[in-house]
Chain A
């Protein structure tokens, strides 16, 4: 079940060149370069060492094109479309590239600023870069590309498990390995939360950031084993603290990590769910309780 849930059903790959818009382009724009395709062997030639990061996220192949304004040769837009194999990995690489929550209204989720647009849809991650500032044009191009991607995949379901209260918009990320920098946690999602602080006038302001995470394993046995390894690691390098988990109704671990701060970890099915780096126990526990409840 774990594998099926987390990697999703791999949709059929489209011929990537066909996704590159060639006709019905925004007025006064024309395709001047490409489509140029890259595979695992040649991606380095296009994006240098960053190719390694794409490989970790399951890169299959990509296509690149350049559009030019008929009015000014300098005014160009570069388009990269990456086939990442499945929707989880496409979301993952998207989540590592977006800066903050500035949705553009295309794809399954997107980011748009003055010079760049990025989004993911199905197994594809799309990146557009404009030499001259023009978010409206970037949006137009993005929508054109998005329409040409027929992949019906929905966003990874784990994203919906994260509690909304306190979640920094656009902060959920997927890591294909080394979640929280730990080998034993393997892959999973992480979201950033902001603790609420009351000032002198009892007005609520934003305080310290902490993370909720969900690590994904093959089965519940593997999740239990990872929890043991985590406990062992904390007992060697940090602290294991006592504390019940009755309210969660599941096995868990409480402690202090030398680099992450306070930690609570719980096991549910083939997942480990946790909170790290918080100051207010109650807030972290409440968030975690909802997180656990949301996991189907």
Chain B
């Protein structure tokens, strides 16, 4: 299925998510496109018009990537007070000096006493070289109690009143559905930054919808979930497909994929303004099936199931690094941490009792891990690289 065959209308839904009316005609998703067709959505009750593909800055190593993102038209950037002890905010501040009014900056603060939180916000302002933060979010809420804590709300209200933050919210890496549901009950939060991708449950989709309906702007992070490379699925780049999947949920205002290079931000930005045909929807469905059959999402569902105590997630990550990332060095590194004993136990076990909730064929996967480990590092077989009880010397 070629990307040039995209047609302008979509009339069905993808995996239970209604396609937003924002999707437009665009002939190509290729990263060679230098000026993407920018898509904007309103970030909940903030009213900010943000580019649907925005940028997570945390892993970015060079300001050149930020400048490229800016030139591409991306206008929303997510950083945090603690990333690299403030270096990340400094990079954002330096890169956008003189461009401040053209970008929206989201940063974070941790729950402490007021004196410390205030000092943290002041530090962020200095590093970001600005006198206001567009969106200030609590970093990593994990319980509904935190989400509805009036004392925390009071601090954010002060930050707004003092002009230090325009809008406020929270971020979450776990228990997201319950946190969003709780947040939807109050008027405390303007924005929620949540991990959201094709591997997540229907519960989370419903909670996202509930929160969005209450006026909370949803910013999606970790949108790629270990997406596979282009060669693996015909026309559509898997990174773009993963982004499209998230953005087809019209309750999501924007996604902030964490990018490290110019090439990656170009690829992500090119996902904006694309239309998907029925054929492409099918392709996305296939893509999802493809990923679901291959990726260990670290859901934890199989923990403790192996009677021999073998950690399946580490073994299966080898498959993801090999097949998905095609990164031999990651395979090699991870292989060094896997013990010969674990591999032998798995490959010789006549009746594996571990059942994957996502349908991974555990036995087949473990056999592949064994193959990769033997194949990936000849040096290990001679015992020159690895130490301890690793497979090389075990």
A interface, CB within 8 angstroms of B: 3-4, 7, 9-13, 40-41, 44-45, 47-50, 52-53, 56, 58, 60, 85, 96-99, 116, 175, 177-184, 257, 259-260
**Is B244 at the interface (CB under 8 A from chain A)?**
no
Given A52-B58, A179-B61, A181-B62, also A10-B260 (CB < 8 A): no
B interface, CB within 8 angstroms of A: 58-65, 67-68, 80, 82-87, 139-140, 142, 171, 173-174, 221, 258, 260-264, 298, 300, 313-314, 329, 332-333, 336-337, 379, 384-388
A contact residues around B262 at 8 Å (CB): 181-183, 259
Given A49-B173, A97-B84, A97-B85, also A177-B139 (CB < 8 A): no
A13–B388 contact, CB under 8 A?
yes
Given A10-B336, A50-B80, A52-B59, also A178-B261 (CB < 8 A): yes
Give Cα distance in the complex from A49 to B332, angstroms.
25
A58–B333 contact, CB under 8 A?
yes
Give Cα distance in the complex from A184 to B87, angstroms.
24
Q: Which of B84, B139, B260, B263 contacts A48 (CB 8 A)?
A: B139
Given A182-B263, A183-B264, A259-B67, also A48-B173 (CB < 8 A): yes
A contact residues around B61 at 8 Å (CB): 175, 178-179, 181
* Closest 5 pairs (CB-CB, A-B): A181-B62, A259-B64, A48-B140, A178-B260, A12-B387
B261–A182 contact, CB under 8 A?
yes
Shortest distance between the CB of A70 and any CB in chain B (Å)? 22
Shortest distance between the CB of B83 and any CB in chain A (Å)? 6
A50–B261 contact, CB under 8 A?
no
A contact residues around B332 at 8 Å (CB): 3
Can you identify 27 A-B contacts, CB atoms within 8 angstroms?
A3-B332, A10-B336, A11-B387, A40-B314, A41-B300, A44-B140, A45-B173, A47-B82, A48-B171, A49-B58, A49-B80, A49-B83, A49-B171, A96-B87, A97-B87, A99-B87, A175-B61, A178-B62, A178-B260, A178-B264, A180-B64, A181-B260, A182-B262, A183-B261, A184-B263, A259-B67, A259-B262
Q: Which of B83, B174, B314, B336 contacts A50 (CB 8 A)?
A: B83
A41–B313 contact, CB under 8 A?
yes
A contact residues around B67 at 8 Å (CB): 259
Give Cα distance in the complex from A256 to B63, angstroms.
16
B385–A9 contact, CB under 8 A?
yes
Give Cα distance in the complex from A83 to B221, angstroms.
26
Shortest distance between the CB of A236 and any CB in chain B (Å)? 9
A contact residues around B298 at 8 Å (CB): 40-41
Give Cα distance in the complex from A239 to B109, angstroms.
42
A44–B173 contact, CB under 8 A?
yes
Tell me the total A-B contact number using a CB cutoff of 8 A: 112
Give Cα distance in the complex from A15 to B388, angstroms.
12
Shortest distance between the CB of B41 and any CB in chain A (Å)? 22
B84–A96 contact, CB under 8 A?
yes
Give Cα distance in the complex from A287 to B169, angstroms.
48
B contact residues around A49 at 8 Å (CB): 58, 80, 83, 139-140, 171, 173, 221
Give Cα distance in the complex from A260 to B64, angstroms.
7
Give Cα distance in the complex from A41 to B314, angstroms.
10
Give Cα distance in the complex from A45 to B298, angstroms.
14
A10–B386 contact, CB under 8 A?
yes
Closest to A11 in B: B387
B contact residues around A9 at 8 Å (CB): 384-385, 387
A181–B68 contact, CB under 8 A?
yes
B contact residues around A41 at 8 Å (CB): 298, 300, 313
B83–A53 contact, CB under 8 A?
yes
Closest to B317 in A: A40
Closest to B265 in A: A181
Closest to A97 in B: B85
A50–B58 contact, CB under 8 A?
yes
Given A96-B84, A181-B64, A181-B68, also A53-B333 (CB < 8 A): no
Give Cα distance in the complex from A3 to B376, angstroms.
13
Q: Which of B59, B62, B142, B173 contacts A53 (CB 8 A)?
A: B59
Shortest distance between the CB of B305 and any CB in chain A (Å)? 15
Shortest distance between the CB of B226 and any CB in chain A (Å)? 11
A47, A49, A182: residue with the most chain B Cβ atoms closer than 10 Å: A49
Give Cα distance in the complex from A116 to B59, angstroms.
22
A3–B329 contact, CB under 8 A?
yes
Shortest distance between the CB of A62 and any CB in chain B (Å)? 14
A contact residues around B87 at 8 Å (CB): 96-97, 99
A contact residues around B174 at 8 Å (CB): 44-45
Shortest distance between the CB of A199 and any CB in chain B (Å)? 26
A contact residues around B80 at 8 Å (CB): 48-50
Shortest distance between the CB of B331 and any CB in chain A (Å)? 12
A contact residues around B82 at 8 Å (CB): 47-48, 50
Shortest distance between the CB of B62 and any CB in chain A (Å)? 4
B contact residues around A97 at 8 Å (CB): 84-85, 87
Give Cα distance in the complex from A211 to B30, angstroms.
32
A85–B388 contact, CB under 8 A?
no
Q: Which of A12, A45, A175 contacts B388 (CB 8 A)?
A: A12
Shortest distance between the CB of A52 and any CB in chain B (Å)? 6
Give Cα distance in the complex from A7 to B384, angstroms.
13
Given A9-B385, A41-B313, A53-B58, also A177-B261 (CB < 8 A): yes
